[in-house]
Amino acid sequence: MVSHLNVLPTGEGEAQFDYTFAECKFKKLIKGKHIKYQNELTYRPQAKTKPASFVYPIECVQKRPETWIPPFLNPGSGVSAGRGGLVIHMSLLNEQLTGVAETNVIPLGSFMPIWAAVEQKSHQPLLLLMEQCVAASTPELQPGSQVYPIINNKGCLLESKRGNSMFLPRYHSSAIILYLQSFKFNLGEEVYIHCKLVVWDPEVFNEGKKACHYVKESGSWELLDDPFQSSLCSCCDSTCKSRSRRGLEWESHDQSRTHSVLGPLIIVEHNNKPVGSSVSQDVLV
C-alpha cells in the first residue's frame, strides 16, 4: 500500500512507500563476498482483478563483512527444547559429503544430504534419531504455513517410499545423514526443513525410537541401525508406538529432544538455478 500520494507541479502523481526493511520480506542470497537482497515493489491502486500499475525490481547489494557469520552457524540459534546441555548440529552437505554445501539452491530431483549430529563430549554413547521432519514455507511453523511431510510416525522416512530418499550408513551413532531427494514444494521460493531430533540410548530400539527407510528392491521397511530388527519398522504403514520398558526408563532420565530448523533452501527447476548460500545450523539444547 502507498504511504503518501503527492501531486507534482507538472500534474503528475508521486507515490511514496515508507516501510522498514524487515516488513518487506526480502529474499536473501549470498554470492562470494556479497550479500544480495531481492524483491519486487508492486503498485496496484485498483482491485487485485486489475493488473498492477507497475512492478519494479529491487536489488540491494552489500559487501559481506569479513567477520560475518550466517545466523544458522551461531550455536544456540533456532528453536530448541531439551535437557542435559547437549549441542546438536544440522547442516546441508555438498554432493561429495565432505563439507557444508556452498549453495542453498537445489535442482529439482537432485539429492540434498542433510547431516545432523550431537556432540558426544563426556556423555555416555549417544544415538541421534530424526523422529519427525517436514518441509515448510516459513522458518517458524504457523497455522498458515505450507507443510510437506518427510519423516513421520516416529522415524519412518516417507520420502523413501514416494521417491529415492534414504538414510546413509552411519559413521557414528551420534550422527545421521538423511539423503533426501528434492521434491516439488514451493518451487523457486524459500523452503525450511523442520526436524524433531531425539538423543537416545544406542542399545535400545523400539517402534517409537528408530530410523526406518523403505527399500524398493525388497519391498519392505528396513531399520538403519540393525536390519535384523527391521520388524520394528513394520508399523510405518500404520501407527508406531513405544513399547520398551527399558527404553521408557532411559527416556525419563536422559533423553533429550530438540526442534531444529534448516534453511532457507530454494528448490528450482533445472533450467532456473540462481546462486545461493551455504546452509547449516547449530542448536544448543
Spatial CA neighbour of 91 closest among 240, 242, 193: 193
Contact between residue 201 and residue 208 where contact means Cβ atoms under 8 Å apart? no
Note down pLDDT in tens along the chain; length 285 residues.
888 888 889 988 888 888 888 788 787 766 656 778 888 888 887 777 788 888 888 888 888 776 554 544 433 333 333 445 678 889 998 888 888 888 889 999 999 999 998 886 666 788 999 999 999 988 888 887 789 999 999 999 999 999 999 999 988 888 999 999 999 898 888 899 999 999 988 888 899 999 999 999 999 999 999 999 999 999 999 999 865 444 444 444 344 678 889 989 999 987 654 445 445 554 443
Amino acid at 47: A
The beta strands (E) that lie in the chain are given as: 4-7, 13-16, 27-31, 34-43, 54-63, 87-92, 105-107, 111-118, 127-136, 147-152, 156-157, 166-167, 175-181, 190-200, 212-215, 220-223, 256-268, 280-284
